[in-house]
Structure 1
Amino acid sequence: MQHQLTIQEAIFTLSNFNKQIDQLTYRFRSNFFGPVKVDGKPIAHDDKAKSNEEELVKYKQLITDTSALRHAIAKANNELIVENHSVTYQLEWVRQTRLLLTQLESLIQRQETRVETGVGVVEYSAYNETSIREDIDRLTKEVNKISSLIDQSNANSMISIDLLTEI
């Protein structure tokens, strides 16, 4: 079935489909395994077999749909431009910059004092803490700005996609 979705809706749908896959995977342990014979005599499980087949069909549809959604989102992210770069580029930049911010914030919070023989009391701290704090403020604002622009782009950009699973 053909659907017109914003990228934001596609991401939300992908998340929901992944949850459904997780639920089906969890149910496989209890629904696909159980007693088949008692005292050497087979136990009829026609209803279980039919139910299992339906779950496998649903699972395969979800795999196909999540793959299609990921592909459509990735394609759109490669084509859409935010601040002179593709959304894919910006997403990676934001991810890496957030990692850097975490490191910098940890660095400026770290302070140690040691008594070293022959030297005395030595205090350890980040070099040029003021400059690091300025970098943190500047990068945080930039990350927030790019993230907001990506969100706006995702909310306003449409993709067309064929899905087997009902949304």
Structure 2
Amino acid sequence: MNKLLTVTAIAGAFAFQSLTASATSYDPNYDFGDMGPTASGVTKSITASADNSWGDYDMFAFTISAPTGVTGSAPDVDLAYWFDDVDVKSVALFKNVSGPDPQIGNTDTSTEQFSFSNLGAGSYYLKVLVNGDADYKVTLTTSPTASAVPEPEAYAMMLAGLGLIGFAARRKQQ
């Protein structure tokens, strides 16, 4: 028993060391900060700069403290000169964790409007692929996710079921 405990402790130490050694956290370009949610939601906008005509990724970090839905916009910018335009190609959402960041859902290529639903509390970042050499605006809005509350009929059915189980158990004893 003691040998098994020692081997388990050593294996756990190696596993923890490998996790911390490979931990890399991504540093976003822009930070929305805490996005709530509150009862009415939170909306914030950030002006970002696209500075590469061949494609560049901008990262936008944010944190939510309760289950939330997130909607936003990252519209293209069409200026007078073709070399000043900004073309937003895609928006993807990632959970901000150490190591490889898991993508949440699919990459949204419609980009004028995007949405991600049923996000749990935690830190996230948007990865926006842009072409161009000008400023553009990303707007993010959170809306609280309503938790499911059982209807009174559900409670009545549960109590009736428990009563039937109790009746059957009592009858079986007799």
TM-score by length of 2: 0.21
Structure with higher helix content: 1
TM-score by length of 1: 0.22
Higher alpha-carbon Rg: 1
Question: Using CA pairs below 8 Å that are at least 6 residues apart, which structure has the higher relative contact order?
Answer: 1
Structure with higher strand content: 2
